[in-house]
């Protein structure tokens, strides 16, 4: 396996270079070293993995970046096998440790944890990068700045920036929209709120690019340069009466009971998107003394949120009557 494919093992990590802990000009960064003794490099890997390779030539191939030999001899072919093996290993781990999660949620967890960026951080944290044969100054510079993030679990996945961003926008009567495009093999994602771009993210994987873009947008919307976007255009007579998204279904039900109307009827209208990015659209029907009304909510990552979105639109509609 390549350094970027090393599974995350619970060990005491090697501290990152001092330059990663505090900002500095690029010329002052302490670039990673290189272990020229290849026998020593092999021993370090075997010690870390607690595994002895039968064929160390394969290990040397796994420790060779394409920049070292113009791609003629590198870890790229092994990477094809390693990606599949790592995906299976993480699938097995998540399946056994999360017995109540469905395939969509499991796919999201797997994608978030086996991204290129995540695995690269693991390799750097375990001091594998100095063992890599390479001739890439840009990669060296990136390694000096990597931040190490924890494994994403079922308990924290809903705290990810995409969900938080949607909830923040809904609270202010706004809608966050994501625009995806490609640039040089990278997936680029722009975030728009109220027609204004508020965030940008990139990655080799779409789901990670979206997470990065949402994180960037949150930083700018909450006390940042774009916080005014949430305020502009919402100062009308209805806003003060619109409750938070997560309370809308309950609020609507209470309103119907208070007016002696039948309870609202919620229906799942649409379910779509890839496994790691499912979205749901729900409708709600309210029968009043003057007629029957139906509203359809915005696409949401959870059915509960989709129902609340439909309820929010119904609350707004009833306020106008």
| Count of residues making up the chain | 321
Lowest-pLDDT choice from 67-81, 141-155, 278-292: 141-155
Phi and psi at residue 140, to the nearest 5°: -60, -40
Residue written as tokens 């994602």? 189
Residue-wise pLDDT for 159-181, tens only, equals 467 877 887 787 777 888 888 88
**Per the structure block, which two tokens stand in for 168?**
């923040």
Q: How far apart are the first and last CA of the chain?
A: 64
pLDDT for res 22: 42
pLDDT for res 246: 67
Q: Which residues contact 22 (CB under 8 A, 6 or more apart)?
A: none
pTM of the model: 0.42
Helix (H, G, I), strand (E, B) or coil at 160: coil
Q: Which residues make beta-bridge pairs with 180?
A: 189
Residue written as tokens 């030539």? 57
Q: Cα 230 to chain center, whole Å?
A: 22
Tell me if 267 sits within 8 A of 294, measured CB to CB: no
Q: How much of the chain, in percent, has pLDDT values that exceed 90?
A: 17
Distance, in Å, from the CA atom of 156 to the CA atom of 154, rounded to the nearest integer, reads 6
Residue-wise pLDDT for 234-275, tens only, equals 434 333 333 466 678 888 998 899 889 999 999 998 887 765
Tell me if 301 sits within 8 A of 310, measured CB to CB: no
Distance, in Å, from the CA atom of 114 to the CA atom of 2, rounded to the nearest integer, reads 13
Residue written as tokens 């916080």? 227
Per-residue pLDDT at 3 exceeds 60: no
Q: Which residues make beta-bridge pairs with 271?
A: 280
Give CA torsion, residues 110, 115, 118, 124, to 10 deg.
Answer: 130
Q: Which residues make beta-bridge pairs with 294?
A: 285
Distance, in Å, from the CA atom of 275 to the CA atom of 279, rounded to the nearest integer, reads 9
Phi and psi at residue 16, to the nearest 5°: -70, 165
Residue-wise pLDDT for 220-237, tens only, equals 887 667 767 776 644 343
CA distances from 14 to 38, 85, 134, 174 (A): 20, 25, 21, 44
**By C-alpha distance, which of 55, 60, 53, 54 is closest to 74?**
60
Per-residue pLDDT at 87 exceeds 80: yes
């Amino acid at each position: 396996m390549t350094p970027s494919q090393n599974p995350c093992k619970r060990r005491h990590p090697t501290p990152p270079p001092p330059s990663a802990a505090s900002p500095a000009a690029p010329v002052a960064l302490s670039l990673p070293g290189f272990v020229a003794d290849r026998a020593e490099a092999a021993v370090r890997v075997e010690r870390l993995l607690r595994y002895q390779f039968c064929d160390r030539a394969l290990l040397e191939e796994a420790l060779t970046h394409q920049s070292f030999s113009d791609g003629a001899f590198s870890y790229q072919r092994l990477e094809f096998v390693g990606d599949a093996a790592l995906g299976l290993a993480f699938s097995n781990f998540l399946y056994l440790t999360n017995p109540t999660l469905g395939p969509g949620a499991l796919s999201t967890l797997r994608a978030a944890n086996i991204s290129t960026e995540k695995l690269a951080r693991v390799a750097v944290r375990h001091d594998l990068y100095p063992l890599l044969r390479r001739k890439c100054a840009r990669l060296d510079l990136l390694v000096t700045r990597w931040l190490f993030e924890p494994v994403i679990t079922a308990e924290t996945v809903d705290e990810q920036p995409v969900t938080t961003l949607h909830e923040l926008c809904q609270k202010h009567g706004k809608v966050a929209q994501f625009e995806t495009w490609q640039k040089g093999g990278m997936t680029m994602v722009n975030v728009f709120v109220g027609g204004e771009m508020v965030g940008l993210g990139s990655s080799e994987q779409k789901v990670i690019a979206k997470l990065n873009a949402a994180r960037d947008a949150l930083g700018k919307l909450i006390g940042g340069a774009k916080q005014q976007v949430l305020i502009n255009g919402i100062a009308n007579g209805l806003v003060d009466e619109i409750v938070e998204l997560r309370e809308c279904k309950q609020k609507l039900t209470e309103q119907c009971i208070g007016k002696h109307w039948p309870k609202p009827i919620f229906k799942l209208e649409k379910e779509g998107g890839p496994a790691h990015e499912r979205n749901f659209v729900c409708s709600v029907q309210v029968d009043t003394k003057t007629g029957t009304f139906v509203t359809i909510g915005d696409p949401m990552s959870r059915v509960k949120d989709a129902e609340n979105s439909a309820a929010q639109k119904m609350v707004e509609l009833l306020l106008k009557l």
